[in-house]
Amino acid sequence: MTRIEWNDFLSVGHAKIDEDHKHLLEILNRLADSEERRKRDVVAKAVNDMAAYASEHFAREEELMKAINYPLLAEHTERHKELTAKVAAWQRKLTGRWHPWHGGTFFAVLAHWLVSHILDDDRLVADFRRTGRVGHRFRKQAAGKEPFPALRPAPGKGLDPTRGPRPRRVAA
């Protein structure tokens, strides 16, 4: 698997948060090498380091969101809890039977989560910090006309949480 290199596109314009994201990517990148990620102790260390550093980093981000009165703090914090639970599940998994593909799966799942979270969720915080607005997607909510939606749709509720339920088809 390919290392995930830092790119300015991932920057949220906050030096410490960017530095944290680089550090989290580096922890994952230890598993990019196919030989390394087959070693149980290397994978276990990466999972434990991810658990420790992600919790420090999430606390920092949540403090920042509180300090700027970020309106989607609760939803964003939920995303952090999801990742924390995922990593804790991996910690438990690694105390059980070892499979040589565990490292590759952890790398793929976590890398996908982290990059999506930076681009989808952390960038909304960065935009709000810079402009005092949450972007066109949430214009009505920012104006107090509608409640803020969950950042992800509830299962079975369609792909766009800013739109209501799809109209039912009526048989002709």
Check binding of 122 to Fe ion (CB under 5 A).
yes
Residue 20 interacting with Fe ion (CB under 5 A):
no
Tokens of 15: 């030096």
Nearer to Fe ion, 1 or 51 (CB): 51
- Count other Cβ atoms within 10 Å, centred on residue 94: 19
State how far the Cα of 21 lies from the Cα of 40, in Å rounded to an integer.
24
Q: Which stretch binds Fe ion (CB under 5 A): 3-11, 83-91, 117-125, 150-158?
A: 117-125
- Residues across the chain: 172
Q: How far is the CB of 158 from Fe ion (least distance, A)?
A: 24
Q: Is 61 in the site for Fe ion (CB under 5 A)?
A: yes
Q: Position of tokens 């196919």? A: 34
Neighbours of 51 (CB within 10 A): 17
From the list 131, 123, 140, 113, the residue with the least C-alpha distance to 50 is: 113
Least Å distance, CB 1 to Fe ion, is: 23
Shortest Cβ 61–Fe ion spacing (Å): 5
Report, in Å, the least distance between residue 118 CB and Fe ion. Answer: 8
Q: Which CB, 18 or 122, lies closer to Fe ion? A: 122
Q: Pick the stretch among 22-30, 87-95, 114-122, 134-142 that binds Fe ion (CB under 5 A).
A: 114-122
Residue among 18 and 61 whose Cβ is closer to Fe ion:
61
> For Fe ion, how many residues bind (rule: CB under 5 A)?
2
Shortest Cβ distance from residue 170 to Fe ion (Å)?
42
Which residues contribute to the site for Fe ion (CB under 5 A)?
61, 122
